[in-house]
Amino acid sequence: MQEPGVPFPANKQPQAAFLHPAIPATSKYMKHTAVPHFSTLLAIFLGLLWGYSCTKPTPFGSVLLEDEIADFFYSDTLTLRCSVLPEDSVLTSDRSSTADFHFCGQLNDPVFGRSQSDIFTLFRLKSLSPDFKDATVDSIVLYLRYDAAGFYGDTTQPQTLRIHRLAPDTLLRWDADYYAHQSFPVGQQIGELVSFLPKPSTSAALFDTASKAPYLRIPLDHAFGQELLDIDSADMTADTSFWKRLRGLRISAESAGSPGAMMAFDLNNAAFSLIRLYYKQPQDTTSSIVEYNFVGGNKFAHFTHDYSASTVAPYINQAADDQLFVQGMGGLRLRVEIPYAHLLENIAVNKAELELTMLSLPGDNPLLTPAGQLVFTESIGDTTLTLTSDVLYSLGPTLNGGFTGFGGFPEMESDNGNMVERYRLTLTRRFQDMVDNQSGNVRDQTLYINVYPQSRSAQRAIFYGPRNSSYPAKLALKFTKVQ
């Protein structure tokens, strides 16, 4: 799935939303169609009987409307059909060098199985055409800047990190988009850091300066440093020539135990993520320094997910009634169908929210915290997903307005005297479109739920399903009758 982010058309701005909408169970609000076969009528009747309920009209909004009383109806039993799907394609390329971080590491999740993220990246000289004539390498070190906010899992467990060159005859293109499922074969290993404990929130002096930042330091092979010094000067006059010669690197890591950790490295921090090469020329008595950084070069994350023997395995690509699962990176999304929306007629949707209640499974690890943000997406074409109108309305025209107007984040609520953690996702505008759409095509009645941002979150969440007897997933709807 390409990362959602299509701008909201100016002529499609959502209407202002109020509170919970509702729907009545009378056939008066169903669209008139040609008389179907009796079996079809029976199926529709049973679906509506199971799917709809209503309350009496209430004086909602009477303060705003002064003496006028509006008829509002409420329903929370519309039919929902949910299924758990693997992500199709997640764009992870960072050609513009704007990503906050990239994941590197391994999670061994008791519920979601094993997840792995490797970083493939180009690097470049900070200044072109240096003078390396007859130079010899003293040492070469890779520095990686931590991004503490992106870490997920247990940072007290040992990690092992390795640096590889891409295999000969391969090349990470600077002008291509790469997706999470793509990778490259690797050749020579040029660096390794064994059994270290990541400390993403610990400041440390770097490069003997006053600047401080949490970072990782990995010594690289001297032979690799000498190769950099021996590159023909013609290959150092342009980035593209340099990249063709060097091909690119893979940064990978593995965890010693469970649940492991997904580390986050900010390769776009030019001051603290770089390769520093110390060298001498014949006439030198002290070392000179040349630096290579990752800013301006393409980079992407390669995700793999292994669900074998995991709790979630039997639910993937299946209808899910009792339990629902969603996961970031290249993991899992939820498909939600509202199959009878097109049968409703003459209603104005005031508010529609999907309510999802968190489910705690036995044996789950408390360090694997639930997703901080979920969003609705919908299909555009065969493979692309885009944010729905309600999400985009909350984000605003510049896409930085936040999610307060949409929801999609966990909050503690009291339900029949019990405290539960619940997500509420707004679909007011999108559900009105479903009601108004007369095609009856299930594709037009389908939404997806994704962790956001998909490629920059390793979090996941587990929910009660729509037919769970405790806290069923449901669509809470408030609407007004329209003549």
Q: Which residue has the tokens 């036995």?
A: 362
The residue count of the chain comes to: 483
How high is the pLDDT of residue 70? Answer: 53
- 346/146: higher pLDDT: 146
Q: What is the mean pLDDT of residues 340-345?
A: 87
The pLDDT assigned to 446 comes to: 96
The closest of 356, 305, 351 to 331, measured between CA atoms, is 305
Q: How many CB atoms lie within 10 A of CB 421?
A: 16
For 189, phi then psi, to 5°, come to -85, 130
pLDDT class of 206 with cuts at 50, 70, 90: very low
Q: Rounded mean pLDDT of 82-94?
A: 95
Closest CA to 97 of 247, 273, 238, 240: 273
At residue 203 the predicted structure's pLDDT band, cuts being 50, 70 and 90, is: low
Give the pLDDT score at 2: 46
Decide if pLDDT at 79 tops 90: yes
pLDDT tens profile 18-45? 233 333 333 334 444 444 443 444 344 3
Tokens of 79: 């039919």
- Residue 20 has phi, psi (to 5 degrees) of -65, 130
Helices then strands (H, E): number in the chain?
5, 26
For the stretch 89-136, pLDDT in tens is 899 999 999 999 999 999 999 999 999 999 999 999 987 667 888 999
Task: Collect all residues with Cβ–Cβ distance below 8 Å to 157 and sequence separation of at least 6.
Answer: 197, 255, 256, 257, 260, 261
Q: Which of 72-76, 117-121, 334-338 has the lowest mean pLDDT?
A: 72-76
Q: What is the DSSP string of 257-270?
A: SSSEEEEEE-TT-T
Q: Where along the chain do its domains lie?
A: 10-88+308-481, 102-297
Percentage of the residues of the chain whose pLDDT score is greater than 90: 68
Least confident residue range of 37-46, 168-177, 237-246: 37-46
Which pLDDT band, with edges at 50, 70 and 90, does 343 fall under? Answer: confident
Mean pLDDT in residue range 49-55 = 39
pLDDT of residue 283: 87
User: Distance between CA 68 and CA 404 in Å, rounded?
Assistant: 30
pTM for this entry:
0.83
| pLDDT tens readout for residues 397-454 | 999 999 999 999 999 999 989 999 999 999 999 999 999 998 888 999 999 999 999 9
CA distance 163 to 167: 12
Bridge-partner residues for 120, per DSSP?
A: 250, 300
3-state secondary structure of 299: strand
Radius of gyration (C-alpha) of the chain in whole angstroms: 27
